[in-house]
Homo-oligomer: A and B are copies of this chain.
Amino acid sequence: MEGLPRLGSIETGGTKIICAVGDISGRIESRVTIPTDVPDISVPKVMDFFSDKGIDAVGIGAFGPIDVIPGSEDYGSIRKCERRGWSHYPLLRTVCRGLGVPGDMDTDVNTACLGEYAFGAGKGADVLLYITVGTGIGVGITVGGRPLHGMMHPEGGHVAAVRHPDDLFGGTCPFHGDCIEGLACGPAIRERWGADGKDLGGRPEVWEMEAHYLAQLVRNCMMAVAPNRIVMGGGVMQQEHLFPMIRERVSAQVNGYMDCPETSDMGSYIVPSALGGDQALLGGFMLAQSAFEGRSGIS
């Protein structure tokens, strides 16, 4: 829309980086997808895309771990990670300085949570949780439309897991083995059952076990922060039959203990993403707008 600041959004993922130009109304004017390589190859392509777009600010939803603590020396940098070339890479500073605009950055899940809060299935939820189940399991939290950080961003996928009685799989998490992520992320499904989730549609035991772990994660997040709504997305959640299975198990586990208007209809409490994969990209506009207004990020 005319008069609104022109905003850039960047979503960095394990295989691709998506860049978009748009504004705070949620309109996406143009976008490009760039393969994720080492920063020296990928980031110049990001700069190229934005160079003639005349953006006023930029927001980045990045794979973690990242430094999100304002005032920290490494604010806006990727933290130590196994992704080649990205450890300690000062992504936010590089992009902002290169483009000469203010910007803000958060984790991909916190940014997706922000996108759902502003434009998607999380509208009106003061405390909103976004859970992504894909290559990893991430949990983003916004409080009043602001991402929650303490000493760092939350890492709710790595809570301890009570095992399904039939599950003998060791788990894929390099840090915790059989945390929820280690037992229920996409790669865990593949390793345990020998096929991708999308090819396991006819195996009810796969989804019964998956729902066991995801319901447990939802229950634990409900107890820990009592969110007003929980949005679930990511590749594994494309299996939409998981939703009723998760809702049923969460209701059974919580067992009436959190008896609120929100939970009286689990169908509107635990909901799929409404943004078709663009949640983090759209959340990036929220970060960019916040940086444009000087409320967060770097100038």
Binding site for B on A (CB under 8 A): 79-80, 125-127, 139, 141, 143, 148-163, 175-176, 216, 219-221, 223-228, 253-263
Contact = CB atoms under 8 A, between A and B. Distances in A.
A64 to B, nearest CB: 11
Contacts of A152: 226, 258, 260
A225 B226 contact: no
Given A175-B256, A255-B176, A127 B155 contact: no
Contacts of A155: 223, 226, 257-258
26 contacts: A79-B259, A80-B259, A125-B150, A126-B150, A141-B225, A143-B143, A150-B225, A150-B227, A151-B226, A151-B228, A151-B263, A152-B258, A153-B226, A154-B225, A157-B223, A158-B257, A159-B220, A160-B253, A161-B162, A162-B162, A162-B163, A175-B254, A175-B256, A176-B257, A220-B224, A221-B224
A246 to B, nearest CB: 14
A290 to B, nearest CB: 16
Contacts of A160: 162, 216, 219-220, 253
Contacts of A261: 151
Contact of A225 (B162, B176, B225): B225
Given A255-B175, A256-B175, A223 B151 contact: no
A163 B162 CA distance: 8
A113 B145 CA distance: 23
